[in-house]
Amino acid sequence: MGRSFDYVILGGGVAAGYAALEFSKKGVSHGELCIISDEPVAPYERPTLSKAFLLPEAPARLPGFHTCVGANEERLTPKWYKDHGIELILGTRVKSADVRSKTLSTVTGETITYKYLIVATGARALKLEEIGINGSNAENVFYLRDLADATKLVNTMRTCNGGNAIVIGGGYIGMECAASLVINKINVSMVFPDSYCMGRLFTPKIASYYEDVYKSKGVNFIKGTALTSFAFDSEGKVSGANLKDGRYLPVDMVVVGIGACPNTNLFENQLTFENGGVKVNSRLQSSNTSVYAVGDIASFPVKLFGDTRRLEHVDAARKSAKHAVSAIMEPNNTSEFDYLPFFYSRVFSLSWQFYGDNAGEVVHFGDFSGTRFGAYWVNNDRVVGCFLEGGDKEDYEDIAKVIRVKPTVADLGELERRGVEFAAGV
Ligand code: FDA
């Protein structure tokens, strides 16, 4: 069985949804475009899974968070795809790809050929077994990457009131899940080997602020050590966790957030790779001219910093997807992808944004005993990164703008004294 499309998007996550919207804006005709996804639902805003989806009251549910509501754009429900003649091939895993013959083969035995392929397969959660620990299959051990994971997690959280959860990992999945567990009235211990949370982005001072907030909500931090093994009960459920420092923690449920791994295996030995992802040019085009890569798997040139990066963040997924479609549909009107790295998170009533690069010297500013503070990163005398907690829309626009400009600063004290005002004045 075989079908043929002008444009195929492989993967049905964030990037796929934003690519579909852009295709429709650029006038794709009925029957020309399809999306193939192994998830059973149309593309949705994945970050919602660790935020509003986990809330005990008025939680977000589909169809409420289909793309592209996260960027205040149209919400693409299954009906939208139907009305726009875009084929959604859901619940279908692509098991092999041959870029020479421009053919994808699915586990259902179908072959799909394309003129242009956008690869948007995202990433998968790293499993405990990959760091030498058994137990992922236990029914009370959870990961959080897709709707199925989140649904399973919610169902258990509902029955675990007053119980003990451990969160393995101090990155954003761990932090956001810990907050949600606490909101669901579950006792939480966070276990991670670093000396402070969100070590890839936060400074110790910034981390200490968030850890204090978490502690005030009852979260117990167990830092500088790691999980070594689980104890299981007679039903095969995890009943306890053994830590490297000799401690034993009784456990009702475990949430694992130890990192992600890009889903690129279909294209190994067929496309050029860099930073663990598919290397693309400033049009998001891979080493095969018919294949574009976007979102978490794309390693793309970041003009602002003169290097190539792979960013596992939602804003990069949205914008790279949009740009790739423009490069395919309007090649002569599409300039280089000029992306400003941007990450954000929201937990409890806290909300932060970060723009640029966290390289070089750090200058903290603002009121760390209050609700509005941040940091600049200065590299080779230029301001290259800015983090801000508790800003308003205008503040965030200002810090994004200042990082685009990368102004030189002679006096770091000025950054500390003026804080966001410095950005506003550039
Ligand atoms: P995405 O993972 O969204 O989609 C990939 C799709 O491809 C999936 O549908 C997958 O099933 C499918 N697929 C893969 N292989 C396939 C195959 N062989 N056949 C068929 N289908 C296949 N970022 C941020 O900046 N701020 C935030 O607060 C958060 N929060 C957050 C929470 C949670 C719980 C997660 C998991 C992630 C975030 N992120 C985030 C990261 C953000 O969600 C992520 O960067 C984007 O979803 C990436 O979009 P992609 O489309 O590249 O992959």
Distance 31 CA to ligand 1 centre (A): 26
Q: Going residue by residue through the chain, which has 426 residues, state the pLDDT in tens, using 9 for 90 and above.
A: 699 999 999 999 999 999 999 999 999 999 999 999 999 999 999 999 999 999 999 999 999 999 999 999 999 999 999 999 999 999 999 999 999 999 999 999 999 999 999 999 999 999 999 999 999 999 999 999 999 999 999 999 999 999 999 999 999 999 999 999 999 999 999 999 999 999 999 999 999 999 999 999 999 999 999 999 999 999 999 999 999 999 999 999 999 999 999 999 999 999 999 999 999 999 999 999 999 999 999 999 999 999 999 999 999 999 999 999 999 999 999 999 999 999 999 899 999 999 999 999 999 999 999 999 999 999 999 999 999 999 999 999 999 999 999 999 989 999 999 999 999 998
Burial of 41 (0-12, 13-18, 19+ CB in 10 A): middle
Prediction pTM value: 0.97
Rounded Cα–Cα distance for residues 340 and 323 (Å): 14
**197 φ/ψ angles, rounded to the nearest 5 degrees:** -75, 160
Strand (E) or helix (H) holding 173: helix 172-183
CA dist 239 → 73, 174, 192, 272, 379 (Å): 45, 20, 19, 45, 48
Atom of ligand 1 nearest to the CA of 39: 11
Burial of 405 (0-12, 13-18, 19+ CB in 10 A): exposed
Atom of ligand 1 nearest to the CA of 260: 36
Q: What is the ipTM of this complex?
A: 0.99
* Strands 111-119 and 238-243, sheet pairing: unpaired
* Ligand 1, CB cutoff 6 Å, lining residues: 11-16, 36-39, 46-47, 49-50, 93-94, 120-123, 144-145, 173, 263, 266, 295-296, 312-315, 317, 343-345
- Radius of gyration of the chain, Cα coordinates, nearest whole angstrom: 22
Position 197: which residue type?
Answer: C
What is the side-by-side strand order in the sheet with 141-142?
Answer: 141-142, 253-256, 164-168, 187-192, 220-223
Tokens in use for 161?
A: 């009131």
Distance 12 CA to ligand 1 centre (A): 9
